[in-house]
C-alpha cells in the first residue's frame, strides 16, 4: 500500500473482532516502526509494553478501564501501553548524540563534536531541559511521533487501532511500569469488524483555520490541484457520515451484544 493511502485509510477503529488474535510478527512490525522514528538527540524516550487482553485477570481489566474506553479495550485483543522514560537524559548524559556523531549523522559541518556535546549540549541544553517543568511536554512530542509510526504500520498490515486513556496507577502495578516512566496512551490493536471506510474520514476543520504562512493570521491557502492529487492517491477520502453508517453500527452492536 502506498504511504498516502495508509494515511487516508487510518481511522480510530472502535469495533474489533474480539475472537481473532493478532499475529506476533505484526506486533513486532508495529514496534519496529516505532523504534526507527526520528527522535531528538537520539534519546528514544518511547517505551512500550505489549499486553494481550486475554492474559489480563478480569478484575485488573475492569480496574484499567475508563468510561470512554472500556468497550474498546474489551474488544481489542492487543493493548500496547506507551510510556516516556524520563530518566534517559540524566542516565545517558550526552552519550546518545555522541553516537550520532560517530556514525556521521551529526557532523563538524554543523558544529558537532564530542567536545561540543560535553561543553555545550549537555550542560547548557540537555541537563537544564531534564530539570525543567516543560521536559515531559517536550518528550511527549517525540514519543507521539514514534508511536504514530507504529499506528500507521498497524493499518498497513491490515489491522485497526485506536488510542485510549486508562487508569494509570492500575497499569503501573499490573505491568511493572517504573516510577521514572510517564504513562501516556494505550494503542488498542486488532482486526476491525467495521468496514474499511468506517463511516468515512472524520470531520476536520478547514486547512486555512489550522495552518498559517509567514505569521499567524495569514492562512496557508489550499491549492485545489493538490487536493485533487491527494484524492486520486486515496489520502483524502469521502467524509463522514457515509450512507449506511448508522445501519452498520447497529448491526455491529447487535453482533457484539452492545447497546444500540
CATH number of the structural domain spanning residue 163:
3.40.109.10
pLDDT, tens digit, 9 for 90 and up, residues 62-74: 999 998 899 999 9
Residue 189 confidence (pLDDT) above 90 = yes
Residue 1 confidence (pLDDT) above 90 = no
Domains in the chain: how many in total? 1
Q: What percentage of the chain carries pLDDT values higher than 90?
A: 98
Cell 506476533, residue located = 24
pLDDT, tens digit, 9 for 90 and up, residues 154-181: 999 999 999 999 999 999 999 999 999 9
Quote the pLDDT of residue 17. Answer: 98
Length reported for the chain:
260
Quote the pLDDT of residue 47. Answer: 98
DSSP three-state, residue 59: helix
Quote the pLDDT of residue 68. Answer: 87
- Kindly state whether residue 98 falls inside one of the protein's structural domains: yes
- Kindly state whether residue 218 falls inside one of the protein's structural domains: no
Burial class, 253, CB count within 10 angstroms (exposed 0-12 / middle 13-18 / buried 19+)? middle
- Kindly state whether residue 22 falls inside one of the protein's structural domains: yes
Phi-psi region of 57 (alpha: psi -120 to 50; beta: other; left: phi over 0): beta
- Kindly state whether residue 59 falls inside one of the protein's structural domains: yes
- Kindly state whether residue 235 falls inside one of the protein's structural domains: no
- Kindly state whether residue 239 falls inside one of the protein's structural domains: no
* Residue-number span of the structural domain to which 98 is assigned: 3-193
Residue 228 confidence (pLDDT) above 90 = yes
Task: Tell me the CA distances in angstroms from 36 to 77, 173, 203, one per residue in order.
Answer: 25, 29, 31
- Its pTM surpasses 0.85: yes
- Kindly state whether residue 25 falls inside one of the protein's structural domains: yes
Q: Going by C-beta distance under 8 Å and a sequence separation of 6 or more, which residues neighbour residue 124?
A: none
Residues 12-43, buried b or exposed e (16+ Cβ, 10 A)? ebbbbbeeeebeeebbebbeebbeebebbbbb
d(CA 44, CA 83): 11
- Kindly state whether residue 249 falls inside one of the protein's structural domains: no
Instruction: Give the pLDDT band (50/70/90) at residue 148.
Output: very high
137's grid cell: 511536554
pLDDT, tens digit, 9 for 90 and up, residues 84-110: 999 999 999 999 999 999 999 999 999
Amino acid at each position: 500500500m502506498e504511504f498516502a493511502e495508509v494515511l487516508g485509510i487510518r481511522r480510530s477503529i472502535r469495533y474489533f473482532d474480539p475472537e481473532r488474535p493478532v499475529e506476533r510478527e505484526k506486533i513486532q512490525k508495529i514496534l519496529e516502526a516505532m523504534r526507527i522514528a526520528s527522535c531528538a538527540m537520539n534519546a528514544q524516550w518511547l517505551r512500550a509494553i505489549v499486553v494481550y487482553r486475554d492474559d489480563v485477570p478480569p478484575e485488573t481489566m475492569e480496574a484499567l478501564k475508563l468510561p470512554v474506553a472500556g468497550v474498546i479495550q474489551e474488544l481489542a485483543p492487543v493493548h500496547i501501553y506507551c510510556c516516556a522514560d524520563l530518566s534517559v537524559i540524566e542516565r545517558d548524559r550526552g552519550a546518545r548524540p555522541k553516537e550520532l556523531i560517530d556514525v556521521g549523522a551529526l557532523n563538524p559541518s554543523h558544529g558537532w563534536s564530542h567536545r561540543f556535546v560535553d561543553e555545550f549540549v549537555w550542560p547548557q541544553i540537555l541537563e537544564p531541559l531534564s530539570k525543567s517543568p516543560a521536559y515531559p511536554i517536550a518528550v511527549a512530542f517525540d514519543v507521539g511521533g514514534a508511536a504514530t509510526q507504529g499506528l500507521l504500520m498497524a493499518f498497513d498490515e491490515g489491522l485497526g487501532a485506536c488510542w485510549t486513556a486508562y487508569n494509570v496507577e492500575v497499569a503501573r502495578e499490573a505491568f511493572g511500569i517504573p516510577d521514572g516512566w510517564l504513562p501516556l496512551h494505550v494503542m488498542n490493536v486488532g482486526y476491525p469488524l467495521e468496514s474499511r471506510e468506517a463511516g468515512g474520514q472524520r470531520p476536520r476543520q478547514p486547512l486555512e483555520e489550522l495552518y498559517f504562512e509567514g505569521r499567524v493570521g495569514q492562512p496557508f491557502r489550499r491549492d485545489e490541484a493538490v487536493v485533487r492529487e491527494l484524492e486520486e492517491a486515496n489520502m483524502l477520502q469521502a467524509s463522514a457520515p457515509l450512507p449506511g453508517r448508522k445501519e452498520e453500527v447497529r448491526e455491529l452492536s447487535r453482533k457484539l451484544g452492545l447497546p444500540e
